[in-house]
Structure 1
Amino acid sequence: MNATNGILPLGLYEHLKSTSLINSPIPEGARWQEETLTGKDHNIPELLAQFFSTQLIPALEGIKSPSEQVDLVNRMLALLPQGTSAQDNSLLTDPKNNVIQLRELTLTEDTTKRPDIPLSDVALMTNTSKDLNLNTEIQKELESADRVDLLCSFLKMSGVNSLSQQLKAIKERGIPFRIITTTYMGATDRKAVDQLVKEYGAEVRISYQGDNTRLHAKAWLFHRNTGMSTGYVGSSNLSSAALTDGLEWNVRISSPITPGLIRQFEGLFESYWMSGDFTTYTSTEEDKQTLDTALAKADITGRKSKGLEYNINSSLLDVRPFPHQERMLEEMANARANGRHCNLAVAATGTGKTVFSALDYRRLCEQAGENLKLLFIAHRKEILDQARRTFGDVMHKGNFGELLTSGKKPEYNKAVFATIQTLSGAALENYAPDYFDVIIMDECHHIEANTWDRVFNYFEPSEFIGLTATPEREDGVNIAEKYFSGYVATSIRLWDALEDNLLVPFQYFGIDDGTDLSNVSVRGGRYDDEALEDLYTKGEAERRLRIIIRELREKVDNPLRMKALGFCVSVKHAEYMAQKFNEVGIPAAHLVGTDSSDHRTEIMKNLMDDNHELTTIFTVDLFNEGIDIPNIDTLLMLRPTQSLTLFTQQLGRGLRRSPQKSVLTVLDFVGHQNKKFMIHQKYRAFARNGFLTVQDVENPTLPSGCYFSLDKMTQDQVIKKIRESLTPTKNVLVEKVKDYLEETQQSSSDIDARPTVIDFLDHYGMEPQHIYGRTTQLSLPGITKTVAMTWMSLQAATGLRPDLRTPFNDAVSVEVNKRVKALSHVHDPFRIKAYVELLNTDIPERDMSDEQKRYAWMLLFSIWPNAKWEGSKEKFSLDEGLDTLRVRRGMLREVESLWQRNSALDTNSTPSLFEGEGIPLRTHAYYSREELFAGLAGQEENFKVPGGVVSGVVPFVPSNTTALLVTLEKSEKHFSPATMYKDYAISASEFAWDSQSATTPESPMGQLFQHHEEQGRRIVLFARQARENALGSSPYMCLGTVKYLSHEGSKPMHIRWSLDSPMPAAMFQIAKIAS
């Protein structure tokens, strides 16, 4: 710490609290802001080691004799617990001259050159005359590497030539060499790639999406079996200039000094390698043609395209789903597995709806073993032409399907692409209702129209798929409710589409425009339009306009070159804004629904023309859905909305990719809101999981390239609303419940007639986490106590349910009420059915099957992890536990309503983990620790109850099973490379996992991991994102059985497992290191 006159300067510090720190003088009026770390923060060992190192180094420097320095270190090592690797590892000195031996140990059969930078050191390399040369260092690193990985935007012949001798040598030594690269800017030399593959034995994988790949990293990893791996991360591509004398910066990292970064590098590279985004290049003629074409297309100089006729042969490139599309395909398949064959898929324009539907159709054909008869319906021929090309690419058939339009009639009718206008006429009766196996209706939000409705009701296909970006329209029609039983089979989140680079990144600015809306009436979540119109077109409107123009000039590069949409509250407001923009010299127009088709077409054509002077169209609802102008690069949000759907639709108008557009600028002008207006709701669009927190606003984590900013006034309003929403005060919740009970007039004592917690949550647009995981105070006649907040306790707190006084006078009921949240995650129909039967029948243990007994203990351990009543020393029996629950019907109904809601929202398929063995666990279902232990352990006499087990590796002897329990995010407070990359998904079918710190390959546990199949043991992997969620302890997803692939290291062992069942796409997105 740097002190001035003995006083610490103001600023940020990151130190563990120590006596010297506390005793250090600080400026007058300043104070320390402290944060307490708990045992849940797995980076505590690293923090303590860093602190000890800062104290040890000065102490060692004060000792002149190397032997005395070594003696001090060895005495400290001797103090460590028995059995640790450090305690058994004393330093040695040269007996002749007492010189400590560092770094120079070499265990090879020949002389190997060492890098000039010690293997246990880090460095910044800049290629200056006084610095080491990167090219020379890489040459030396290659000599001692046991595996080499290179991540590089482009590869040049000059770079390959500068390393040719060393690359030839690693091929002769049989050293694996993997390269990931791209066609970015067309900069790669194809000859360099061919030479790396043919002459130097490199495995090369290439991204051919040169305009759609964000890989700009340049990095080398030199893996060594000795544990002394090193890497370089920086700016140098594989070219002679970049490696030798270019103005490049590269950082050298090292396993001994930066183990977390090395692990992160390894994990990220492996995830890229396995992702499918990069195609293997083997230097065949087809590979060469594909690479040449992609490089020519991406070449910004135009030199590579001279004399080259390039059209990529789609049949050479397999169309693979993006991660979000893989998830959508899984969810669609699961919907069908659950008996739903009329399904709606929701995805924004530009996110690959057509590709998804083609991939889905291909899977259906593969399952059927034949090409199914297909009908694809859209409202424009241009959409059909594009759809035919897409289906042809996916099906590897260039001339796929036939058109049915006003001028075209199909001949074979195997795959028909029809306009709704033609199909809904006489052509409809040319087909029997069940003629087509699969019908796909694009833009099916138009289904309400008579022509669409007629077609929908006429056909009876095996599978119907509706595609739309807007299931909820401004006219109030919700097609999901009307035509799909309220069920959306799958949807793409805005976040996923941005992360997969399907949409252009955005920069969003929430700006206080100074308009006071606090007294404007709010009904049904909307302001009074007439009152808003007056505010925005009269009186103070000129002041607001000045703010809009000022912000536009500050945040948009050139307003006269922008292509913008402005969303207004009314026609008059749109006319006003267009007039004012024109007055200040920004060419603008307004469009509304009553404009003629010709006028609308002309104005839109002008906006789409980059050379036309028109910059902005102001509108009301016209552009919310259904109209696509890809070159829109600016959005002006000039009307308040709390609707997530409307906000997302408006945002989507500008997110479509366009050749000249790199980012969408969104200016949202926000006034001082009425307290009833839920301004924060729309910002759920920017939350990764759709659940908005204060963190999402104060420190947003967004997809690459995106930016989110609220000015202070707006941020304060939003955060206040978020806090009110996330943690409404107990008094507010009690009042809401009271109002709801009185409104529904359902305060009767008839249990089954009462409203459920889900009825209440849906009524107020709330989630279970708004209630569960908290406490409330009960003040009733004869009762004053703090109890867990549940639907039942909230009803009791209203005073409208006098019948609930008795349960809360009972200690066991209070205990059960407290643990309702521990069962709120149950979602799969098999477990729900089993739990409900156990709770609603009087079946005794003696009449239960082994599976039922396990289910029963899963349920009971969830309430009582130690199988004891509170205050009791004796464990209860299974029958005693169930009988205790069965008499508490009201509490059980609350839990059952949560389960049914979870089941309706569930998109996972959950096959049995061990079919026919009486073990009720299912792959891809979520389980609490208590449930998974009870499900695997059964009635073992010596089994410790779940409440007494804390290990992450748990053997279950009778079932020959060992469970691995993994929490992916180790530290809940801070990002820590040292702990974040220990356990992660390499691919959907491979998982990297660290054993316990004392496990060696030779130990019994290490031998079990390596030889579990020969020993007849099964390994089951359970994983969760974080230790806790909003309701308390997070449940684990059962990822199923795994098999040993390989391992590295000892204490701990770094093991790679192969999953017998690939993890769901949504879980893979969470578990992979590159998520």
Structure 2
Amino acid sequence: ERRLETDGLVHERVSLSPDTASEPLARYVYRFASSLLSSVKGKDKERIAKQVELTNQFLQWLSGPDGAAEEDQVTAERLLQVHRQGDARLGTGQVQRPSIPLRHSDLIVNGPKDLRVGREIQHELASADRVDVLVSFVKWSGFVELRDALRAFSDRHGGAPPLRVLTTTYMGATDHEALDALIELGADVRVNYDTRRTRLHAKAWLFHRETGFSTGVIGSSNLSYAALRDGCEWNVRLSNVDNPAILKKFEATFEQYWDEAAFEPYDRERFIKVLAARRSSQLDALAAVVRLHPYPHQTAVLQALEAERLNGHNKNLVVAATGTGKTVMAALDYKALCKRLGGRPSLLFVAHRREILTKSQATYRAALGDGNFGELLTGSDKPLVGRHVFASIQSLHGRRLEDLAPDAYDVVVVDEFHHSEAATYTALLNHLDPRILLGLTATPERTDGQSILHWFGHRVAAESRLWDALDQGLLVPFQYFGVDDKTDLSQVDFRAGRYSVASLEKVYTADEHRARHVLRALSERVRNPAEMRALGFCVSVKHAAFMAAFFNRHGLPAVSVTGDTPTAAREAAVKQLAAGELCAIFTVDVFNEGVDIPSVDTVLFLRPTESATLYLQQLGRGLRLHEDKSCLTVLDFIGRANRSFRFDRRFRALMGGGTRAEVSKAVEDGFPRLPSGCSIQLEEEAQRSVLENIKRTLSNWSALAEDLVEDWPLATFLERADVDLRELYLTRRSFSQLRQQRGFVQDVADNAITRALPRTVHVDDEDRLSHWRWWLDQARPPKPDPTDPRQVMFFALLGQSRRKLDELGDFFDELWSDPVLMSELRQLFALLDDRRRKPTYVLPGLPFQVHATYSRDEVSAGLVEVRKGKLLRTQGGVFKCDRHRCDVLFVTLEKDEKDFTPTTLYNDYPMSQRRFHWESQGNTRLESSTGQRYRNPPDGWRILLFARQAKKDERGETMPYLFLGPVRCVSATGERPIQIVWELEREMPAAWFNEVKIAAA
């Protein structure tokens, strides 16, 4: 530290975390001990003996009073290899060892004087117990190169080798003969059958060894002769001894890929058909052999729809960003309804174009595995049966609609539901009365200001974020640049949540200064502006015309397209842009939705957009996949904003959600967590403007009070002020106290209950909320019963954990004597009840709902674990509850918020939605009573798994746990600690898995 100060370097300190301190301390000890041991003097044998003696003395001291076990003592010999009888090569008595020692890592470059990766893989196979392979493609030439080593590996395992291979059909590069040969050897092969795109560019081998000396090869080599032998390839050979965290991460990521629906068991006939269809560009044939599986974000939507219907909401709106697969979700939802309702419920699917109808019909057929499902009803198509109909809205009017019985269809699906306020849609929706109504839209906010939510009880059932589609590779990634445009909007008129259009227009068209800045930014960020296909979103018709004229004067062909532009001229402009005859179209809210130009590769935000939904719609115009673009370039021109403008809304939209605090942190940190391939960069001045704007309103009690212009109910305030519920309670004060500040109520309590309100917003199951809401609606409190787990959970949730349980009655009396606080709790719990969007499931014998969320105190309360009259406050990651015959496991996935800590990150993690990898306490052995109970629990004994992402949430509050439910052990290896793979009784919620999984989508 003194040397750093002498050199004039600034340093930063952070306290060690109890979860991760062992790693940096051990590294320091290693460096110190290595230096000390190397300084020992003497002849070779004497020197080695002294080094061994010093090492054993240190181990004895470090092990404490009992000393180190004899097997932990070191000797002057180094273990060279361990193998089973019969594994050795004929006549040698030895197993072929890798050229690189098993305890070391190295770089292999296939150079003339270097190792060849193919030969090293052969050597690694000779001593591996299990092998996992991940490659983009497998060539016959590569298989032949490794065939003898693979056959020997197979023979050692009796023809059933633990060899797993993940590969793809991308570009048609994989040879089916190579996969056939791997299958013949006994390998388990899974393939991603999407030939058009792949997210799998990794090439890696993992060689598991039960001795702990596992190794991996990660680099550039696919399974081809050139890559293995003489290609200009770089690969890193990693050892579990010196790089355990990387191999743990490899193993965890591979397991998650292996369980993804996108990777399916190899089917020779199907594989050949897929490649043949790709080579002949037969897209229909390709669709016929590519099976329909939900992506995780689609599964989350399906689960939300299930929950809504279980709660009695049968008219539901799904808001899904462009490219997230709305029709796929609708088709899979119908498949689930078939199972739930029995048979094939009658179906009416409505859209406004025949092209959409034919694609939708094909999607439903793929989902149901029925190539004859459904009939078309359009101007030229008439159904014969009419039970499952894909109809154009134009065909459903007049006499045909009048003759249709309101209950003729069990299920009605309306695509592009934002058109519902048009007369034809309104007439249809008013006429029909289906059992199930499903609306699909990417555009819940109409540009004409009319709401569509009244058809759905003013609620959105589920949303599929743009983020999800990007993460799954369904859209091209974006490169976002926030550019300081040197304008000052701080004094521009801002009313009713938006800038004055006339005032903005005056600023932007007064001279060419800003327009020149736009051109300069394009020249710096776009490879060749003359070849770009850009959409520029402007503030007004005059602004759009101004920008088009400016671009034309500077040699970039452009036009302006507005609501006044004739349809023919608008369509011509779109064609010219797609053909490359135009570089840019400048518009005002015309291309927000409904116009598909996949070749658009640049989006210019030339106005401050107040609506996050509108912002995403405009961004989405450039995110469609297209063969000529690898990403979308986004230039957002940011000036100094009016104090009332909300920058957090657009960045919250880009990030896929979050509070203002989370957005502020992301802006400061450079947006470290974005979908794969995406980036957000803010110029220094733009970043400063954004941060000042966000922090001005961040947890600002006075600003919240200003937003409460009337004595609104809680839900109304959150909607009108556009404040997140968690954000309100981020202030650690109550809504009632906010009302008091505005003079709407008097004498609001400030006590343990009000201070506990921020810790209630996680409650998300019908069981707790229905009981508590019923109590709060009664004039008198329930009769106190310290043995009733729901009463005790209510007691704990509202900040009473430190009180004795015999004070339960006093607590009820205190609460019921405060009508203001009672009113807030009623409103809060009603809001939480209305926001429930995932199904939860009863756990017999306990008051917990699987997939509901609980604080640690609530878990103790639910078990009614009492010590000395008070609730037991459990510590550590495990708790044995004899009373209810269960072990409760508390898991925090991110052990340390301060640093990225790879050594602990991969101890506990979800391997798939059904399997969870967990590490026991450090002193647990396989044969101990605890280890045996985990592996083979007695009859009636349950292992209950609670998990959370981190210790603290963005508010600094202790993060609650998601109850993943009962689990059973499917494998247990090692000891002190034991590595256990749990199988869940129920798949974990898709949205949570998607959030916490390690692997990219």
What's the TM-score, normalizing by structure 2?
A: 0.94
Partner of 2:834: 904
3-state SS of 2:6 partner? coil
Instruction: Decide which of 328, 351, 356 is 1:355's aligned counterpart.
Output: 328
| Gapped regions of structure 2 (runs ≥ 5) | 42-46, 89-93
Report the equivalent of 1:860.
795
How far 1:847 moved relative to its partner? 7.6
Q: Pick from 26, 30, 41: which aligns with 2:6? A: 26
For the pair 1:719 / 2:691, whether they are aligned, the reply is: yes
Contact persistence 1:293–1:310 (CA under 8 A): no
Which of residues 372, 382, 386 is equivalent to 2:355? 382
8 A contact 1:641–1:679 mirrored in 2: no
Q: Distance in 2 between matches of 1:688 and 1:250?
A: 35
Q: 2:22 aligns with which of 26, 45, 49?
A: 45
Correspondence for 1:91? 73
Relative to structure 1, the CA distance from residue 959 to residue 430 in structure 2 (aligned partners, 3 Å threshold; closer, same or farther) is: same
Tell me the residue number matched to 2:569.
Answer: 599
1:515 maps to amino acid: T
Question: 2: CA distance between counterparts of 1:260 and 1:517?
Answer: 50
Identical-residue share of aligned pairs (%) = 41
Asked if 1:240 is matched to 2:197, the reply is no
Q: Which residue of 1 aligns with 2:118?
A: 135
Q: Judge conservation of contact 2:699–2:730 (CA < 8 Å) in 1.
A: no
Indicate if the aligned counterparts of 2:795 and 2:801 stay in contact, CA closer than 8 A: no
Cross-structure match for 1:883 = 813
Over 3 Å counting, the alpha-carbon distance change for 1:686 and 1:491 in structure 2 is same
Q: Secondary structure at the match of 1:978?
A: helix
The corresponding residue for 1:547 is 517
Q: Deviations over 1:826-885 (max 9, x none)?
A: 2223202223445565889878595xx1111112223456542xxxxx664433443343
State the match for 2:719 in structure 1: 762
Give the whole-Å Cα distance in 2 for the aligned partners of 1:543 and 1:160: 62
For 1:732-747, list aligned pairs within 5 A: 732-733=702-703, 736-737=704-705, 739=706, 743-744=709-710, 746=711
8 A Cα contact 1:424 1:452, kept in partner = no
1:74, CA displacement in angstroms? 1.6
SS class of match (2:624)? coil
Cα drift, residue 507 of structure 1: 0.9
The Cα of 1:631 is off from its aligned counterpart by: 1.3
Indicate yes or no: 2:765 matched with 1:828.
Answer: yes
Name the residue aligned to 1:531.
Answer: 503
Residues 797-850 of structure 1 deviation map (CA, whole Å, 9 limit, x = unaligned): 66775524xx45xxxxx3333222232322223202223445565889878595
Matching residue of 1:415: 388
- Secondary structure of 2:126's match? helix
Q: Do residues 932 (structure 1) and 865 (structure 2) align?
A: no
Q: Among 667, 671, 674, which residue is 2:639 paired with?
A: 671
Aligned partners of 1:823 and 1:569: how far apart in 2? 42
- Indicate which of 61, 73, 76 corresponds to 2:55: 73
AA matched with 2:724: E
Matches within 5 A, 1:175-324: 175-198=161-184, 200-283=185-268, 286-293=269-276, 296-297=278-279, 312=285, 314-324=287-297
Q: 1:927 to 1:385 in 2, by over 3 A?
A: same
Q: Distance in 2 between matches of 1:843 and 1:890?
A: 15
Change in CA separation of 1:316 and 1:676 when aligned onto 2, cut-off 3 Å: closer
Cα distance change on mapping 1:672 and 1:942 into 2, 3 Å: closer
Match of 1:1042 in 2: 967
Pick closer, same or farther for the CA change 1:224–1:116 going to 2, 3 Å.
same
- Structure 1 residues 92 and 545, CA gap change in structure 2 (3 angstroms): closer
CA positional deviation for 1:584: 1.1
Distance in 2, matches of 1:695 and 1:192, equals 49
* Cα displacement (A) at 1:588: 0.9
> 2:311 — aligned with what?
338
Give 1:10's aligned residue. Answer: none
Post-superposition offset of 1:565: 1.0
Secondary structure, aligned partner of 1:1020: strand
**1:625 aligned residue (586, 593, 599):** 593
Matched, 1:893 2:861: no
Indicate how the Cα distance of structure 1 residues 23 and 635 shifts in structure 2: closer, same or farther if over 3 A, else same. Answer: closer
The one-letter code of the counterpart of 1:148 is V
Partner SS, residue 409 of structure 1: coil
CA distance in 2, matches of 1:438, 1:57: 72
3-state SS, counterpart of residue 967 of structure 2: strand
**Do residues 1024 (structure 1) and 948 (structure 2) align?**
yes
Secondary structure in 1 aligned to 2:480? strand
Shift of residue 525, structure 1, vs aligned partner: 2.0
Matched, 1:656 2:641: no
Distance 1:88 1:473 in 2: 75
Per the alignment, residue 498 of structure 1 pairs with: 470
**Are the equivalent residues in 1 in contact too, given 2:786–2:808 (CA < 8 A)?**
no
Sort the Cα spacing of 1:120 and 1:25 in 2 relative to 1 into closer, same or farther, 3 A. Answer: same
Question: 2: CA distance between counterparts of 1:960 and 1:725?
Answer: 49
Q: What SS does structure 2 have at the residue aligned with 1:642?
A: coil
1:456-481 Cα deviation digits (max 9, x unpaired) = 0111111111111101111111212x
Question: SS in structure 2 opposite 1:79?
Answer: helix
The match for 1:945 among 862, 871, 882 is 871
Instruction: Note the aligned Cα RMSD (angstroms).
Output: 2.4
Alpha-carbon distance between aligned partners in 2 of 1:451 and 1:189, rounded to the nearest angstrom: 53
Relative to structure 1, the CA distance from residue 621 to residue 797 in structure 2 (aligned partners, 3 Å threshold; closer, same or farther) is closer
Residue in 1 aligned with 2:38? 61
Distance of 1:113 and 1:348 partners within structure 2:
55
Structure 1 Cα separation of the partners of residues 796 and 786 of structure 2: 18
Deviation, structure 1 residue 348: 2.2
Q: Which amino acid aligns with 2:747?
A: D
Summarize the Cα distance change of 1:63–1:100 in structure 2 as closer, same or farther, 3 Å threshold: farther
The AA in structure 2 aligned to 1:90 is D
| Counterpart-to-counterpart distance in 1, 2:254 and 2:171 | 22
Deviation at 1:969, TM superposition (A): 1.1
For 2:631 and 2:614, how far apart are their aligned partners in 1? 21
Q: Could you report, residue by residue, the CA deviation over 1:106-143 in whole angstroms, capped at 9, with x for unpaired residues?
A: 55454312112111111111112332222222111111
Assess, with a 3 A threshold, how the Cα gap between structure 1 residues 600 and 846 changes in structure 2: closer, same or farther.
Answer: closer
Q: CA deviation at 1:272?
A: 0.5
Per the alignment, residue 421 of structure 2 pairs with 448
Aligned match of 1:920:
847
Cα gap change, 1:523/1:740 in structure 2, threshold over 3 Å: closer, same or farther? closer
Per the alignment, in what secondary structure is the counterpart of residue 191 of structure 1? helix
Letter paired with 2:208 = H
Alignment partner, residue 816 of structure 1: 753
Q: Does 1:1073 align with 2:998?
A: yes
Contact 1:827 1:900 (C-alpha < 8 Å) held by counterparts: no
> For residues 11-40 of structure 1, what are the alpha-carbon distances to aligned partners after superposition, in whole Å with 9 as ceiling and x for unaligned?
xxxxxxxxxx34655234x4323233443x
Bigger shift: residues 62-71 or 52-61:
62-71
User: Could you tell me how far apart the structure 2 residues matched to 1:668 and 1:406 are?
Assistant: 44
Change in Cα spacing, 1:418 to 1:768, as seen in structure 2 (3 Å) is: closer
Counterpart contact for 2:314–2:436, Cα < 8 Å: yes
Cα displacement (A) at 1:434 = 0.6
Q: Which residue of 2 aligns with 1:461?
A: 434
Q: In structure 1, what is the Cα distance between the partners aligned to 2:909 and 2:68?
A: 27
CA gap 1:288/1:670 in 2 versus in 1, 3 angstroms: closer
CA contact (8 A) 2:139 2:175 kept: yes
Give how far 1:609 is off. Answer: 2.3
Cα deviation digits, residues 441-464 of structure 1 (max 9, x gap): 111111101110000011111111
Q: Structure 2 vs 1, CA of residues 85 and 1069 (structure 1 numbering), >3 Å: closer, same or farther?
A: farther
My pick for the range that moved more, 573-582 or 497-506, is 573-582
Aligned position for 1:588:
558
Q: Residue 169 of structure 1: SS of its match in structure 2?
A: helix
Q: Is the 8 A contact 2:537 2:587 kept in 1?
A: yes
Q: Which 10-residue stretch deviates more, 81-90 or 43-52?
A: 81-90
* Aligned partner of 2:77 among 58, 81, 100: 100
Equivalent residue pairs, number: 981
Q: 1:310 to 1:857 in 2, by over 3 A?
A: closer
Any conservation in 1 of the 2:193–2:290 contact (CA below 8 Å)?
no
CA contact under 8 A between 1:152 and 1:238: conserved in structure 2? yes
Contact 1:190–1:292 (Cα < 8 Å) also in 2: no
CA shift, 1:83, in A, is 10
Give 1:954's aligned residue.
879
